[in-house]
Structure 1
Amino acid sequence: MNQRPFGQTGKVVSEIGFGAWAIGGSWGDVPEADAKAALHAALDSGTTFIDTADVYGDGRSERIIAAVLKERGGPRPFIATKAGRRLDPHVSEGYNSANLNAFVDRSLKNLDTDCLDLVQLHCPPTEVYYRPEVFEAMDAMVASGKIRNYGVSVEKAEEGLKAIEYPGVKSVQIIYNIFRQRPADLFMREARAREIAVIVRVPLASGLLTGKMTGNTTFATDDHRHFNRDGQAFDKGETFAGVPYDVALKAVDEIRPFVPSNVTMAQFALRWILMNQGVTTVIPGAKNPEQAKANCTASDLPPLTDAAMTALRTLYLEKIAPFVHHQW
């Protein structure tokens, strides 16, 4: 597994991490045994970065991670969690010192640790990025020893650009994939210039870029791909990267000829992301050991060809960008 520096922290992490949303909830039923086996497989394959959140399964994801690490013993991987989405209503005013400290205290307990490696503000309202006192509260938690580092998880590239103006922000998590290429235009360059770690989520566009979905694919009622296609529960860009399902399926068919015969489309899509040196780590999810192992092997693939990269850029600009580029 190849490693990349995690921004200014002095840490290095695996360029393929483990996204722990699916083992928490909102992706259909994932039995705890399968969730643990998937995480074990990722760690056995060289993953040293895990991303979770306090709201994934109302803490289930964090607790499963803690249980697996207790079973394994030895050095802990770098664990990133998130705070803020427990607010109800989810409004800017809720991002205050008291609430954020309470959320962090809960994650400390769930993850069975006395200090969190990284806490990310969890896609807060845009106004939060213009409130210095929020970032001062995070600085205070670093000073107190509750957290080692903090960052932000953003919906829009502009939010990421604003966030990295605060000197305490060490990382930005953002959606970036073949169907969401805008972050590479400016954000990635600025983040790299400032030595900000970039965590890439939704790398497979909620499974579309596995190439396994069809017009007849169905999803469980508790799967966000069933209930959030139009943003009914949270930002629609988190589901299928915001691309209309039928449009995306046609684009997937245009990608297939560029995928080598000995590589899955999912691995190809992950390798595409790693072509950008501004990326620190990419966090695909996995519901079982086979998926986790397959994700990790993307780190060992050779670079994509210039022809493939050019074709994928053209496909994005002509077929996908009109639906997503201006929104995120």
Structure 2
Amino acid sequence: MHTRQLSTAGPQISEIGFGAWAIGGGWGKQEDAESMRALNMAIDRGVNFIDTAQGYGDGHSEQIIGEVLKNRSESIFVATKTAPAEGPWPPSPYCRWQDRYSAAYLRANVNERLNNLGVDRLDLLQLHTWTRAWNDDPQPLMVLHRLRDEGKINLIGVSTPEQDQDCVIQLMRNGLVDVVQVIFNLFNQEAAAQILPVAAETGTGVIVRVSLDEGALTGKYTADHVFPEDDFRHRYFEGDRMRRTTERVEAIRQDIESFGLSEDYTMADVALKFALARPEVSTVIAGMRNVKQVEQNTRTSQLRDLPSEMVTHLHRHNWQRGVWYSGK
């Protein structure tokens, strides 16, 4: 497993990270025993970065991670997230930070994260979403800086709102965050315009999420696939979205074949390697809920990088499809 540095102040972390949303719930039925097997195998295979959140099963994902790490001797970096108090997601331009991320709320929430993970200090605490409306008075981040001074947090980050990822650029340039978590994949390449260059300019770590477009870029789904209602993808791919997506996935598959890589690289390998082709990227999160997925996603690090001419060719798959989270 290859490693990269997470920001100028951060440690060396595995370039493939363990995405722990599904083990907390929200992606259909999941057994804790299987989650623990997946976590242990990932660590055995060199993964030392785990991404979780308060919202992944109301802390259940964090609790499973904490339980597994109690029995491991390796140094594992765990990034978690604090969701805002009740209100629109992402926060609207009219939301006040005082109502969504007040100091009292953040302090109580951070203590909850510490308890769930069973640690005295969080490796990385990210605000799970944000709004540009707070950029000129970013008091929630000031609270996190005070919590860092008190020894409860090491690194500070923001996970971008899907509708306005560029809102973190000002935060990076103002030195308010150590890390940003962004969507960057074969379909959504907008982070290449400014976020990634500014991250390099400011020494900000970059965690890439949704690198497989919620599983679509593995190439394993057909146009008529429907997810169970207890899987959040049931809505994400509602209507004709799966058909439109699989048509574009097939075009990527043809590119892989035309470059002569189809025997050695899966669709998932190419999707992960595409994100890793950017040197600004510190780690790419891949969701792993079972041993098979761990085996598939960790093997990618062992493969040769994609040829530069192929990476350039794959730029053509950038897809301006809008934001599906808010409806069609």
TM-score normalised by the chain length of structure 2: 0.89
**2:266 paired with 1:269:** no
Farther off after superposition, 121-130 or 93-102: 121-130
SS of 2:287's partner is coil
Partner in structure 2 of residue 245 of structure 1: 242
In 1, Cα distance between the equivalents of 2:237 and 2:222? 16
Partner in structure 1 of residue 4 of structure 2: 4
**2:172 paired with 1:175:** no
Q: Is the 8 A contact 1:272 1:304 kept in 2?
A: yes
Partner in structure 2 of residue 109 of structure 1: 115
**2:25 paired with 1:25:** yes
- Selected match of 1:126 from 123, 126, 132: 132
**2:197 paired with 1:189:** yes
* Structure 1: gaps spanning 5 or more residues: 231-242
Q: Deviations over 1:234-261 (max 9, x none)?
A: xxxxxxxxx9332211110011131521
Identical-pair percentage: 37
- Selected match of 2:145 from 130, 133, 139: 139
> Compared with structure 1, are the counterparts of its residues 10 and 122 closer, same or farther at alpha carbon in structure 2 (3 Å cutoff)?
closer
Partner in structure 1 of residue 168 of structure 2: 160
Q: Deviations over 1:278-316 (max 9, x none)?
A: 100011101101111211111121121244223311232
Shift of 1:186: 1.5
CA RMSD of aligned residues (A): 1.9
In 1, Cα distance between the equivalents of 2:147 and 2:55? 20
In 2, Cα distance between the equivalents of 1:8 and 1:96? 29
Q: Is the 8 A contact 1:84 1:100 kept in 2?
A: no
Q: Is the 8 A contact 2:120 2:152 kept in 1?
A: yes
SS of 1:282's partner is strand
Shift of 1:228: 4.1
Q: Deviations over 1:142-161 (max 9, x none)?
A: 00111111110002331121
Q: Is the 8 A contact 1:36 1:68 kept in 2?
A: yes
Partner in structure 2 of residue 239 of structure 1: none
- Selected match of 1:291 from 290, 293, 302: 293
> Compared with structure 1, are the counterparts of its residues 10 and 307 closer, same or farther at alpha carbon in structure 2 (3 Å cutoff)?
closer
Q: Is the 8 A contact 1:118 1:151 kept in 2?
A: yes
- The one-letter code sitting in structure 2 at the alignment partner of 1:283 is I
In 1, Cα distance between the equivalents of 2:298 and 2:175? 32
Shift of 1:11: 1.0
**2:87 paired with 1:89:** yes
Shift of 1:229: 4.6
In 2, Cα distance between the equivalents of 1:126 and 1:244? 29
Q: Is the 8 A contact 1:119 1:150 kept in 2?
A: yes
In 2, Cα distance between the equivalents of 1:186 and 1:89? 29
In 1, Cα distance between the equivalents of 2:236 and 2:213? 13
Partner in structure 2 of residue 234 of structure 1: none
TM-score normalised by the chain length of structure 1: 0.89
- The one-letter code sitting in structure 1 at the alignment partner of 2:243 is D
In 1, Cα distance between the equivalents of 2:136 and 2:54? 24
In 2, Cα distance between the equivalents of 1:267 and 1:160? 28
> Compared with structure 1, are the counterparts of its residues 217 and 245 closer, same or farther at alpha carbon in structure 2 (3 Å cutoff)?
closer
Shift of 1:323: 4.3
- The one-letter code sitting in structure 1 at the alignment partner of 2:294 is A
Q: How does 1:30-69 map to 2 (within 5 A)?
A: 30-69=30-69
Q: Is the 8 A contact 2:20 2:289 kept in 1?
A: no
Q: Deviations over 1:217-239 (max 9, x none)?
A: 22121111113457xxxxxxxxx
* Structure 2: gaps spanning 5 or more residues: 89-94
Shift of 1:322: 5.3
Q: Deviations over 1:21-46 (max 9, x none)?
A: 11111111111011111111111110
Partner in structure 2 of residue 204 of structure 1: 212
How many residue pairs get matched?
Answer: 309
- The one-letter code sitting in structure 1 at the alignment partner of 2:316 is T
In 2, Cα distance between the equivalents of 1:229 and 1:126? 27
- The one-letter code sitting in structure 1 at the alignment partner of 2:287 is G
Moved over 4 A (4+): none
Shift of 1:264: 1.5
SS of 1:198's partner is strand
Q: Is the 8 A contact 1:80 1:120 kept in 2?
A: yes
